[in-house]
A and B are shown apart, each in its own frame.
Chain A
Amino acid sequence: MRRTALLACLLLVSAAAPGFSQPAAPNPFFGNAQAVEQGAEIYGKTCTACHGASGGAGEIAPAIVSGVQTDRRTDAQILATIRNGVPGTPMTAFTGKIADDDILRLAAYLHALRGTAIDNPSPGNVAAGEQIFFGKGQCASCHMIGGRGALTAPDLGNIAGVRKTASIMDALTKPEHHIYGDGGSHLASLPPMDTWLPAHVTTADGKTFNGVLMNEDSYSVQIMGDDQQLHLFDRSRLRRFVVEPKSRMPTDYDKKLTPDEFRDLMAFLTRQGMKPQPERGGESN
């Protein structure tokens, strides 16, 4: 009873102060294709100059949408940011500047941009897809899921949590599928390489190593060997260091699998992972 009263009171406060961050009703425009398109138009006119095209970060403001989904802000937090702005930054409050319905459309567009495969898994036989992953598709000869498989390509245990369905499909079917960030993006920290390009090393004392490039800098090189072991090198002690321009990832799965097999593989892959979670504390003690 008291709880209900408190809740009602909170809702009243929220209603009285529209700028206040509250656990809002779900955005009525989520998943509405027309509204999302209108939201994209509003984004282009209002947000691109600072945040870059498609929310990938501009020169003035950070990314709203990352190619790899590391951003843990919730839809509600993003909506509140649009409405209220961020004090002390060029991000102004848009309440009063844009009609609230349009703010909701904008938020729906950002939700659509930010969503990943796990939000909308592909139809198909998941168990059959798993068999293709570990069998006919030979995916596990390079990739790993749930500790099964190999180390010379990205672990796919959370692929559906970080990539969109179209992006997974492109990786399986298109030679040029590398996802480039927006040009204006400011990286938040030093990332490892995620190109997984084949690399060949010969050391000064004549030993050779083949594998994929995990990272490099001006003075060192890190390789995951085909022997499934990490190999770390000092650049100045290498006689030969070659990185191939194309990854080993086959991009003809739509041809080498039957349409049903491909569909099942997509059904399996688009279910691997968990939805991006808002930042939350853990149990420390």
Chain B
Amino acid sequence: MKYTKFVNLLVFLLALLLPGLMAPVLAQDQAAEQALLKPNPANWPTYSGSYDARRYSELKQVTTANAAQLQAKWTYHMAGMKELETVPLVVNGVMYVSQFNRIDALDARSGNVIWKYQRGPVSTAWQRGTAIYGNKLYLVTSDSHLLALDARNGAVIWDVKSDGGMVLAGGAPLVAHGKVIVSGNRPDGFIQAYDAETGKYIWTWSPIPKQGDPALASWGGAPPNGMPIWVSGSYDPEQKLIFYGTGQPEPQWVGKQRPGDDLYGDCMVALDVDTGKLKWYFQYTPHDTHDYDALEMPVLVDRVFQGQPRKLLLQANRNGYYYVLDRTTGKFLVGAPFVSRIDWATGLDANGKAIIAQGHDPSVKGTVTCPSTAGATNWPSPTYNPQTNYFYVVIAEGCGVNTVVSSAPGAGGGYAESANAPWQAYVIALDAFTGKKMWSYQAVRSNHYGPGLVSTAGGIVFAPEQFGQVTVLDAKSGKPLWHYNTGDLITASPITYSVDGRQYFAIASNTNVFAFGLPDAPSGAKP
């Protein structure tokens, strides 16, 4: 006790003395920092709109009352691309749409192109977005360079090769506390930080436990492998912690070669943004043999929970359970299934650890498991609405068949839809703090890899469907208010923004970006 007080005092004194040395953020970047810490609701300045990844907007020009009047405002064709998963950014009326090696800057009111940056070669590999900090846009290339472009004209400010030759993946970079955070899958999962101003390499964290880390024992003597990290994370500026999900351990489909929980696979990890040191982890799927990557977006909410104020982390996991964690400690608070069939686990114990059911390992003949490897949900982002306290997420009911090609070590495998439990996508609303299902909207024909969501202060959820429909749902009831057929598959998350006092929604649909808004003159009114 006494000792703790002394340490606290010491920390306090150091904090008084050192801010000038500790703060990596220079004075001229204060505006850039503030633009991310307290985003103007007119902008959509990060992959998730804000650090807490709620994908909730204060914009309320479009409401439950007038959503039926929405109309397409413009379409922009991303020539040469396919299956866009990218989430555009919008800052001060300019939209930035990215792919590997490419950013197109558009007038967000008209879709008219302002500048294009294309570095060789053209790549159509899946990529999910860019990041902005002041006048710098950060772009990951297919040859694992990180670039800073000038957001005003697309000029290259700096270009650095990833440290250690790591292969950068398509997840959108995250700028936090003056650093650009990127991630990847190969040679194994990793997260890296670079100085946002200069591109200088700062740190690497990997879910591969190092020698001396007790987590190494969770592999039963096998060398740790895999655990890819291919989706962006969220950030808590107060704790200076970033939160990222990690992917499945490898070999992917054969578990007997890696007996144990296989840490830090399928985990949520909290890392110090300045050092990359692991503060805590929570493993959703121990000893995964079904590729239940935990890469679904972590959503941050502060709230009095079970009688005490808590900093929470919400995640609907690919494994079929919805989790509420304390994001200061990683402590498990709530876990509840959000799909009707889960059979890989018999339930969660008091600490939230899944109790693995026997007989579900992939086999040569095929093993039926629910949910399927495609996931009860997947990387497309959910949204949390503080008005309703609902957590909205696109889910897929159904089961899968997991196969391995042989019983040989390292044998490949795969998964398919179960003929007896076909996949069907829904948008659902959960009570964010109990996981109770409040309503469900069926996206007819959509079955998996659906799009993400946005919710707004106008009481609506903007909910595109995998099979091309863009639908606006009443946030309270799930009732559809408006829809539009984009004519192509949607596998991206939508955004909302405002320019000149007009609210827009935008979404990528296969090779196009669509923007929607209310009619120029309100319906029925004289111009």
B294 at the interface (CB under 8 A from A): no
A183 near B415 with CB under 8 A, answer yes
Residues of B365-413 at the interface with A, using a CB-CB cut-off of 8 Å, are: 372-374, 400, 403, 405-406, 410-413
CB distance from A191 to the nearest CB of B (A): 9
Q: Select which of B374, B444, B487 is within 8 A of A218 by beta carbon.
A: B444
Contact residues in A for B485 (Cβ distance below 8 Å): 217
Which one of A40, A182, A186, A190 contacts B415 once the chains associate, using CB atoms below 8 Å? Answer: A182
Q: Which residues of A contact B (CB under 8 A)?
A: 40-41, 43-49, 52-54, 56, 58-59, 87-90, 176, 178, 180-184, 186-190, 193, 215-219
- Is B125's CB under 8 angstroms from A88's CB? yes
Contacts of B440 in A (CB 8 A): none
Q: Nearest chain A CB to B81's CB is how many angstroms away?
A: 12
Closest to A54 in B: B414
A contact residues around B125 at 8 Å (CB): 88-90
Tell which of A88, A184, A188, A218 touches B465, judged by Cβ atoms closer than 8 Å: A218
A52 in complex: contacting residue of B121, B414, B443, CB < 8 Å? B414
B445 lies within 8 A of A49 (CB): no
B100–A88 contact, CB under 8 A?
yes
Q: What B residues does A181 contact at CB under 8 A?
A: 416-417
Given A184-B374, A188-B82, check contact A48 B405 (CB 8 Å).
yes
Given contacts A90-B125, A217-B485, A218-B444, contact A180 B411 (CB under 8 A): no
Jot down 6 A-B pairs with beta carbons below 8 A, ordered by A.
Answer: A48-B405, A53-B415, A88-B120, A88-B143, A183-B415, A217-B444
**In the complex, what distance in Å separates the CA atom of A265 from the CA atom of B282?**
60
Contacts of B357 in A (CB 8 A): none
Instruction: Give the residues in chain B near A58, CB-CB below 8 Å.
Output: 414
If A190-B468, A217-B444 touch, does A178 touch B419 (CB 8 Å cutoff)?
yes
User: CB-defined interface of B203-222 with A at 8 Å, one 1/0 digit per residue?
Assistant: 00000000000000000000
Which of B412, B489, B491 is A48 in contact with, Cβ under 8 Å? B412
CB-based contact A217/B469 at 8 Å: yes
Whether B101 contacts A88 by the Cβ 8 Å rule is yes
B414 touching A56, Cβ below 8 Å: yes
User: In the assembled complex, which residues on chain B have CB atoms less than 8 Å from the CB atom of A187?
Assistant: 489
- Is B64's CB within 8 Å of the partner chain A? no
In the assembly, what is the distance between CA of A213 and CA of B400, in Å? Answer: 25
Which single member of A59, A190, A216, A217 contacts B489 (CB below 8 Å)?
A190
A-B contact count (CB 8 A): 110
- Inter-subunit contact B445/A53 (CB<8 Å): no
- Chain A residues contacting B414 (CB-CB under 8 Å) are 48, 52-54, 56, 58, 182-184
Q: In the complex, what residue of chain B is closest to A46 when comparing beta carbons? A: B412
Are A218 and B483 touching (Cβ within 8 A)?
A: yes
Is A49's CB under 8 angstroms from B252's CB? yes
CB proximity of B489 to chain A, nearest CB, Å? 6
Given known A-B contacts A88-B125, A218-B483, A45 and B410 have beta carbons under 8 A apart:
yes
The secondary structure that dominates the B interface is: loop
User: A218 touching B416 by the CB < 8 A rule?
Assistant: no
Does B123 interact with chain A (Cβ within 8 Å)? Answer: yes
CB of A81 to closest CB in B, whole Å: 14
Known A-B contacts A88-B123, A218-B443; A186 and B416 likewise in contact (beta carbons under 8 Å): no
Residues on B with C-beta less than 8 A from A43 are 405, 412
Asked if A218 and B449 make an inter-chain contact with CB atoms under 8 angstroms apart, the answer reads no
On chain A, the residues within 8 Å of B465 by CB distance are 217-218
Q: Does B68 contact A (CB under 8 A)?
A: no
> Does B431 have its Cβ within 8 Å of any Cβ on chain A?
no
Q: Do residues A53 and B467 form an inter-chain contact, with CB atoms below 8 A?
A: no
Q: How far is the CA of A46 from the CA of B411 in the complex (A)?
A: 9
Q: Which of B121, B167, B374, B467 contacts A217, CB < 8 Å? A: B467
B347 CB-CB contact with A under 8 Å: no
List residues of chain A with CB within 8 A of the CB of B510.
189
Within the complex, which residue of B415, B468, B487 is in contact with A184, where a contact is CB–CB below 8 Å?
B415
Which chain B residue lies CB-closest to A221? B444
User: With a CB–CB cut-off of 8 A, which chain A residues contact B471?
Assistant: 218
Question: In the complex, what's the smallest C-beta–C-beta distance from A189 to chain B, in angstroms?
Answer: 6
Q: Is the CB of A190 within 8 A of B405?
A: no
Q: Contacts A49-B412, A183-B415, A218-B471; is A89 near B142 (CB within 8 Å)?
A: yes
- A216 partner residues in chain B, CB cutoff 8 A: 444-445
In angstroms, Cα B488 to Cα A188, docked, is 9
A186 adjacent to B374 (CB under 8 Å): no
Contacts of B101 in A (CB 8 A): 88
B40 sits at the interface (CB 8 A): no
Bound-complex Cα distance A214 to B122 (A): 37
Does B63 touch A at the CB level, under 8 Å? no
Q: Kindly list chain A residues whose C-beta atoms are within 8 Å of the C-beta of B143.
A: 88
B257 within 8 A of A: no
A43–B120 alpha-carbon span in the complex (Å):
30
Say yes or no for B195: interface residue by CB 8 A criterion: no
Determine if B417 and A180 form an interchain contact, defined as CB atoms under 8 angstroms apart.
yes
CB distance from B416 to the nearest CB of A (A): 5
Knowing A184-B374, A187-B489, say if A87 contacts B412 (CB, 8 Å): no
Rounded to whole Å, the gap between the CB of B216 and the closest CB of chain A is 24
CA distance A127 to B93 in the complex (A): 68
CB proximity of A136 to chain B, nearest CB, Å = 30
Q: Which of A48, A87, A90, A219 contacts B413 (CB 8 A)?
A: A48
Known: A52-B415, A189-B488. 19 other contacts (CB 8 A): A45-B411, A48-B414, A49-B252, A52-B414, A53-B403, A56-B414, A88-B143, A90-B125, A90-B167, A183-B400, A184-B373, A184-B414, A188-B82, A190-B467, A190-B487, A190-B489, A215-B445, A218-B442, A219-B483
Of B83, B122, B405, B487, the residue contacting A44 (CB under 8 A) is B405
Q: A44 near B469 (CB under 8 angstroms)?
A: no
The distance in angstroms between the C-alpha atoms of A186 and B466, with both chains bound, is 11
Q: What B residues does A89 contact at CB under 8 A?
A: 123-125, 142
Report chain B residues within 8 Å CB of A53.
403, 405, 412-416
Residue among A40, A59, A178 with most chain B CB within 10 A: A59
Could you say which residues of chain A place their CB within 8 Å of the CB of B330? none
B134 within 8 A of A: no
| B480 CB–A CB distance under 8 Å | yes
Q: How far is the CB of B151 from chain A (nearest CB, A)?
A: 24
Interface hits, B460-506 → A, CB 8 Å: 465, 467-469, 471, 480, 483, 485, 487-489, 491
